[in-house]
Amino acid sequence: MLDFKFDWCKEMETGIPLMDSQHKELFHIGRNLEQLVICHCIGVTNKQLLDIILELREYVGYHCYHEEELMKEHNYPDIDTHKKKHAEIIQYILDIDCKKLSEEPYRILCEVKTYLQEWVFGHILIDDVAFGKYLSIHTLNN
């Protein structure tokens, strides 16, 4: 568990500057969470834990909204499937039990980190990059 996972790589670029910068911000939050896990949550306060969960809730919701608006604007045919995947992560983050988190911060944070990492990497590399490709073709043809 000592390796950093929230490292950005070129393959994650969608070619859409706003999306890429928002994704990098998500990675920034992911790395903050990862730092706490690496330190085994030793000395972590309830406020730090809550702040990170609230930041995740706020930022993931904000980012998904922007992405979906861009998809609507460009009539992206896979928007419904994409929105379902966004809804999954939003729900997962909303469902994080903050009481449990304050009781067992390390265990819960490890779970959150693993879920987030798998979702974020899979989603960006496959779904968001696919949207980026669609958008570049669509924009070129217009």
Site for Fe ion in 50-79 (CB under 5 A): 67
CB of 7 to Fe ion, least distance (A): 19
The span of 1-9, 26-34, 91-99, 124-132 binding Fe ion (CB under 5 A) equals 124-132
Cα angle for residues 69, 128, 36 (degrees, 5° grid): 100
34 binds Fe ion (CB under 5 A): no
128 binds Fe ion (CB under 5 A): yes
CB of 131 to Fe ion, least distance (A): 7
Residues 54, 29: contact at Cβ < 8 Å?
no
The tokens for 107 are: 């265990």
Residues 38, 132: contact at Cβ < 8 Å?
no
